[in-house]
Structure 1
Amino acid sequence: MTYRILCVDPDEGDRTEAVERLREELADLDPVFQTADDLASATEALTQHTAVVVTEYDLPDGNGFQVIEQANERCPDAGVILYTDTDPDLIDTAELRGAVTEYVGKDSVFGTERLAELVRTTVEERTQSSYPLPQTEDERLAALHSYDLDEPALLDSLDRITDLAAEHFDVEQASINIISEHSQDFLACYGRAEQWESMDREDSICTFTILEEDNVMTVPDVTEDPRFESRSETLIEMGIRSYMGANLVAPSGLVIGPLCVYDTEPRSFSAADEAYLQKLAATAMDLIDLHGRLDATTEGKG
């Protein structure tokens, strides 16, 4: 995974010194650094892939807390560290509005050392979230966002895929899901799944499916799988006692989400079952990719 660190400071010398020290101390993480000298350029640089923001408090067009507010909107998992000359007694911490940050004084004896420690801790905690992340998470998300998944014609085609899956496996619910940075969203659904709304990624079974090297995952009984024991009651209320998901693998080899079938009773799935669902998932991915290439061709002609 690529760790992106944004350093915001109007003083070019301080900014350069901080980046050089962090690059040296975090060499084993091979981070990517971005820099900004004011609130406007910091806001522009922030993306969902930003892991840590190191910011001065006093900025030409605002302050560090405004950077924090922008980070909370654009990259809520990112850690934000105030690395500043400003006396902490002069900072109105009420402006934080509950945001969590760290303070490091530039003039403290161990300022840069402490800064490096905090950045490392923030990065490591980010990778130890309540759900596992693929090693290619940044690239996977970029692949996902490269597709226009709101096109009605595409969604109608994907609905037919979930219809076929539900009919073949004789289940009352099936869906095609995409796994974004913080949530699982439903592109196409069959049966009661049509009533489902976007859910937090940490509550999703599918966030584990996208990790499978064989691109298919089965759960014969959610109550007996330690990954889902804590949420098994909710899953059963949704009509999910057993599960099978096959990944939608883009031409790049990156997974954007799975095609899933759900049963209300414990159930084993055979190798033939897995192979059939994988064929349907590949067909769904072909449709998504085809629509993407057609859209690109149309835009090119325009």
Structure 2
Amino acid sequence: MSAASLPVSAGAAPAAPAFDRFVMTVRCADGIGVIATVTQALADCTVNVTESATYSDPSTGRFFMRSEFEVAADPHALRAVHAALEFCRVRRDMTIDVFPASRRSRVLLMVSKADHCLNDLLYRHRTGELAVDIPAVVSNHPDLRDLVEWHGIRFVHLPVNRDTRAEQETALLDLVQAEKVDVVVLARYMQVLSAAACAALPGRIINIHHSFLPGFKGARPYHQAHARGVKLVGATAHYVTDALDEGPIIEQEVERVDHTYTPEKLTAIGREIESRVLAHALRFHVEHRVFLNDGRTVVLK
């Protein structure tokens, strides 16, 4: 029987080809042909690029690229892609990272007593909007244990004071290592991490600050804002460094207000903005859209 006369089952559809999907990030010195070098290498491997964004920073002379691509789910095809990208790395002195698109980042949340940012992140996680794994929530207070455990997530109480700070941070870093945590999120965690803790997790700690930095620092920021008659309130998500509230900014948002707003109303608006900004910053980070760039960030959306 010839191939042309083989019987076909009624209603049968050809099997869809199997693909593996990846996210690729590229950093290097800017120059002519940088994009072409990478895209041609991928094309030669029969890779289908489904999304791509680039930025060349004239102030630092650096080039940044983020792409999503799919390639046949075949070990030979994957080896060819890695070999082609290694050639690009050597030829143009590039830093190239490739991540399976299906891999979920492991996120450790830290919180004190304010629950709005935590509650928002847990909801987005539970509904699948935020595609991460949360192995634990750490707090220096026991108040939010019930909320965390209702979501089926481990709650770790690590109280801290002047005498126990070093011990607490050692336990925190041990937990990060044991749980293979990719990023730590300070969801209104009201303790300052030591320089040693910041140095142990460079570019891996995200904080939400209750103002459009630079702004009102310290206690009761919305009362300070009210006393000064501000016309804008906002929030800033940034990476944590040993310089308090001065790490590279990932995301910001503001809302216009006026003289009729009480401190309580400003606080309510601030809670909403903080929750949104922190969630957006975390999503950008876990989707590998954020690049550190000379004390600033490039966010390729």
- Compute the TM-score of the two structures, normalised by the length of structure 2: 0.26
Give the structure with the higher percent helix. 1
Give the structure with the higher percent strand. 2
- Higher normalized contact order (CA 8 Å, seq sep 6+, divided by chain length): 2
- Compute the TM-score of the two structures, normalised by the length of structure 1: 0.26
